[in-house]
Structure 1
């Protein structure tokens, strides 16, 4: 079984596997898999939204919408140079979105509105059915995938009524968005119509039994093992505090949901010595190894910089980090690790240490 590429889209299934192991196995996204996002609602939030299916759907769509806005312009080729809420930007981005829609499966008016909102903000005027389908296509396209899936962590403590509404909302999303909705976490003992599958997750390249790849991009907001960075931020802005949807990094740019990555890139952009850097690259140690996603890479100097959030203190993540660091060091890479709190509170020290290492590798001074 190819694991993620073999799981169904357009349906709700329960994954009989540890949620932390799942998170470790999907970063970077495996070839052929859908664009996999994670949704981890809190119990209080879920109980409030799950009083009706419409309330739950509205909550999930808010998260998907925030992620799509934050990922702009990854899903709109040619829009990289368009910025700001001014009239010129809006006039340029709308026809670009309509042209993009005319050559694919996107609904033109929705894509154009989403592109305008990425620049200027504001709510969507489309009904939930249109938004669900449109957002799923946009999020899949951001990663060059043909479909999207949402990995939903079910919290403990849902009563029978809340479970029924929760499953009905997930079924609505799967059907309307034509996306996979894969459940992990607490069992749904009051609802028996969700089939269970047990994917075979690959093990670490050293034969340790640890998941093959490490967790979602580092710098995540604390919630649990394997939690991805969250959405909820304005397009291009820092991470919001209320988001519960995590999404993978896109190669070549800092993760829009990571305040640490955004702050470090803003600082590096002012430093001439920082040229040659590349964000969120995938590295394959050898043909039989699992690929590794690197937060920040200077390839010529063989320097890797990792920004670690509080989730890296967990046992599984810590072990996976050590294993991948050894593989990189064997290949001649140095791995510089910084806590995200260091980046956010003492950026000058972080810059000084990176610069010192790069200049040493380059044989330069000053």
Structure 2
């Protein structure tokens, strides 16, 4: 018998059922930006003031940078620390979709903006102090952190930091504007919901293997990081939305999603006003509305291809793993939760 040099992936004999559940969920909701008729939003775009158009452009520039970071460095860093072969496959899927997300914003730019405006957007993105600080803080952890620290940084990025940008298209959707742009954002949010839940689950598996002292040390580090990121995000949000009256509402939305990120990691919420009822109901309505079904013959929308995009419920994040529970039981519980994510 020859010794095994390289092990074939056997999806019929899994170490963690959550890997398969996540793979099936992610592949079932596959999408591409080229199937969304963004040009249908041009009439809405022309009704926005110059300030509003600038805010939208900078919002999507910032989101492009974060998705680029996640696709080029974040997932690559976590791939070095996977627990199972199937987990590696799931991360490969996540990495590809993060590239799809980043590319989608360029599709929006090429539809709505002139070449000069696009140049300005990327110049602003590449030189904004607080946006670059955000990327540097997270990437330093990807490059130098422990496996658990990398997962915390990733969950904070996907479940919290993106939402200063997501607020804008959801706000316009709630006001019946830029519906096709919002379709792309809702598809991205749907992906990020699964990414955050899955990576948070993998964090919890490792966290529960720590001693009590190491758990406390990790929690202190985690909350310190959240405070650091929140402080920078407040400055970023103030600059991003300068000239509008949205800043406070965006910060409330951020606190809501920061609590969601902590729930993904199995930790206690931090912000007392981080509840759904504290968020602008127009934005919450936008995030929970099903996708638009476009004309099947002339234009195909994601409502036709992928079904409904729905909001995450508080219970979807309630996946805390008990120290005395078996891996199998925990996996079965999250298997059902991931299958329910829309």
TM-score (norm 2): 0.26
Larger RCO, structures 1/2 (Cα 8 Å, 6+ apart): 2
Structure number with the higher helix fraction is 2
TM-score (norm 1): 0.24
